[in-house]
Amino acid sequence: MTSKKKRILFVGSFKKTSKDGGVGGQMFACKTIVNSELSNFVDWNLIDTTADSNILASNYMRIKKAVLRLIQFTYNLIFYKHDYVLIFVADGWSFWEKGLMSVMAKWLTNSKVVLAPRSGFIINDLQKENRLSGFIRYVFNKVDMVICQSESWKDLFEKTIARKDDAKFIIIENIIDFDNYKDVEINKRGDEETVIVLFMAWVSKEKGIYELLAAAKKLKEENTKFKLLIGGLGKDYEKAVAIVEDSGLSDCVEFKGWVLGEHKIEILNQSDIFVLPTYFDGYPNSLMEAMASGKACVATKVGSIPDMINNYKTGILIDKQNEQQLYESIKVLVEDQKLRLELGANARTKTEAINSIPAGISKYKKIFNIDTKNSDNER
């Protein structure tokens, strides 16, 4: 017996890059899913909601674009039948829009609605007692399933609706094409060689750029042999460049802009250590990429990062907004080659086991009730 393809209305981010050249975590995840073998069993109906950038836009433009997307979404709900509606959502404005879409899908159709929260900032939204936190709880109760990026997110979301529900809250870690990173070199620089430290994220206060530059200043003052590469752009980019120039760090800090594709692999090949001192996050793709590349990683204990990193086994965990811990962690890794190599090798092994595309797609198949054994979709 053969089965027809599932029809899924997928609301997410599908452009090649955002307006300013970046590839955010949601964009990466959505495109990975659509381009995976899952498409052998699914007819996708895509609605792109890529933001122009992460820099604050005017309320008028946000509302205008949201209204247009809601009209497109409603049209697809009314005139096309779907087995599932999959909606990727961030925090704040995004949740108001996508949450409304989720509720509309439940009101207007018999489709199963799957919500996939992505932003670490949603944790802040949930912890505030305001209209948005109440709306998040309402939406969580209405939809059929909520995809959780880690066990800690599942625990938090269950507390949000005050009940444990394994059928509603499903853990699917972020996925990565491990083959793209498995051949990245694990560098074995000697004690007298300059160690390369990589930061690859939005250049913003919330990603910890100021703590990182303060740590770099301390490292230079101690004549530590390191070089910091900063891959990314963002609202605090120009201020960060000014700090580097004013602090005399230009000889050991280099700004690379957005690093994409082969350029990203090239930068990872050059690097020994990866740092992500973010204040809030979900399941950061840049950290996952660095771990898959066998880099020794330092990251803050926020979002799903503690589920990704086992402290001093697959990386080093630090407190957010703590430049002293960041400085000490980078310094110990710069000076201890054996520890760098051990943490990097362990990180690569863990990422391959948990975050490979086959591992993640198999979980999406279960969510969408896809039986690959009795399917004619691969003919």
Q: Give the integer Cα–Cα distance in Å for 306 and 287.
A: 12
Amino acid identity, position 334:
V
Alpha carbon separation from 86 to 5, 124, 294 (Å, rounded): 15, 23, 32
Opening angle at CA 292, ends 290 and 295, nearest 5:
45
Q: Give the integer Cα–Cα distance in Å for 297 and 275.
A: 6
Find the radius of gyration of the CA atoms of the chain. Answer: 21
Q: Give the integer Cα–Cα distance in Å for 198 and 340.
A: 14
Q: Where are the beta strands (DSSP E) in 66-118?
A: 84-89, 112-117
What's the pLDDT score for residue 68?
Answer: 93
CA-nearest of 102, 335, 98 to 225 is 335
Q: Give the integer Cα–Cα distance in Å for 264 and 300.
A: 22
Q: Give the integer Cα–Cα distance in Å for 79 and 71.
A: 12
Cβ neighbours, 10 Å, residue 168: 19
Q: What is the pTM of this model?
A: 0.80
CATH architecture of 6-175+356-374: 3-Layer(aba) Sandwich (3.40)
Q: Give the integer Cα–Cα distance in Å for 157 and 36.
A: 28
Tokens of 250: 């230009």
Residue-level pLDDT, tens digit, the chain, 379 residues: 456 899 999 999 987 665 544 555 678 788 889 988 899 999 999 999 887 654 445 677 778 888 999 999 999 999 999 999 999 998 888 899 999 999 999 999 999 999 999 877 787 788 787 899 999 999 999 999 999 989 989 998 998 887 888 889 999 998 888 888 988 888 777 777 899 999 999 999 999 999 999 999 999 999 999 999 999 999 999 999 999 999 999 999 999 999 988 999 999 999 999 999 999 888 888 999 999 999 999 999 998 999 999 999 999 999 999 999 999 999 999 999 999 999 999 999 999 989 988 888 899 999 999 877 665 544 3
Structural domain boundaries in the chain: 6-175+356-374, 178-354
Q: Report residue 175 CA to chain centroid gap.
A: 10
What's the pLDDT score for residue 273?
Answer: 97
Partners of residue 226 on adjacent β-strands: 195
Q: Give the integer Cα–Cα distance in Å for 75 and 365.
A: 27
Q: Give the integer Cα–Cα distance in Å for 133 and 335.
A: 45
Terminal-to-terminal C-alpha distance of the chain: 14
Q: Give the integer Cα–Cα distance in Å for 178 and 175.
A: 9
What's the pLDDT score for residue 183?
Answer: 85
CA-nearest of 349, 199, 352, 226 to 341 is 349
What's the pLDDT score for residue 24?
Answer: 59
Q: 48, 28 in Cβ contact below 8 A?
A: no
H-assigned helices in 280-336? 285-292, 305-308, 323-335
The answer to whether 6-175+356-374 and 178-354 have equal CATH topology is yes
At the topology level, CATH places domain 178-354 in: Rossmann fold (3.40.50)
Q: Give the integer Cα–Cα distance in Å for 6 and 8.
A: 6
Q: 302, 281 in Cβ contact below 8 A?
A: yes
